Structure 1
Amino acid sequence: MLFHVRMDVHLPPDLDPEVRADVVAREKAYSQQLQREGKWPHLWRVVGEYSNISVFDVESNDELHELLSGLPLFPYLTIRVTPLATHPSKVPDPPR
């Protein structure tokens, strides 16, 4: 199942710099692990914002919720999820 996910980050301005650095480093490691596993195949920054647009490829709504709630930045995120379906006008992917 594919999901379009927008994440907006809202770190408190008074967050201890060491805590911030730790959370951001753990977020990067976790997100890269999910990318390597193929669960997070697309990740784009939104220009001019502390936000991203992502596509997740997971087995279920529950799996997506588990992955998102496992993000170290989760307490600081506003997340919007849109389930995706194949468009009838999509050109087929080339054979591999």
Structure 2
Amino acid sequence: MLYHVAMTVRLPADMDPAVAGEIKAREKAYSQALQQQGVWRHIWRVAGLYENVSIFDCRDNAHLHEVLTGLPLYPHMDIAVTPLCRHPSSVREDDR
């Protein structure tokens, strides 16, 4: 099942830069592993903001919840999820 996920990161202004750097490094490794597995299909930065728009391919809602709550930056994020389904006019057969 495909999901459109918009994420805004809001790190505390007083967060130690070393702690922030460590969290960001873990976040990058986790997200790249999910991309390599095909779970995190697309990711785009929102220009000028600490935000991204992503497409996830998860088994179900519970799987998406597990993936999102596993993000190291999750405690510092505002997340909006929109479930997606294939449009009947799409020429791409691989989107389900």
State TM-score, norm by structure 2: 0.95
Amino acid at match of 1:86: R
1:77 — aligned with what?
77
Aligned counterparts of 2:40 and 2:3: Cα–Cα separation in 1:
10
Aligned counterparts of 2:61 and 2:90: Cα–Cα separation in 1:
24
Give 1:88 shift.
Answer: 1.1
Structure 1 residue ranges (4+ consecutive) displaced by more than 2 angstroms after TM superposition: none
Gaps of 5+ in 1: none
Gaps of 5+ in 2: none
Aligned counterparts of 2:49 and 2:74: Cα–Cα separation in 1:
17
Amino acid at match of 1:87: H
State TM-score, norm by structure 1: 0.95
Identity of aligned residues (%): 56
Which region of structure 1 is more displaced relative to structure 2, 6-15 or 84-93? 84-93
Task: Kindly report the root-mean-square deviation, in angstroms, between the aligned alpha carbons of the 2 structures.
Answer: 1.1
How many equivalent residue pairs? Answer: 94
Give 1:72 shift.
Answer: 0.2
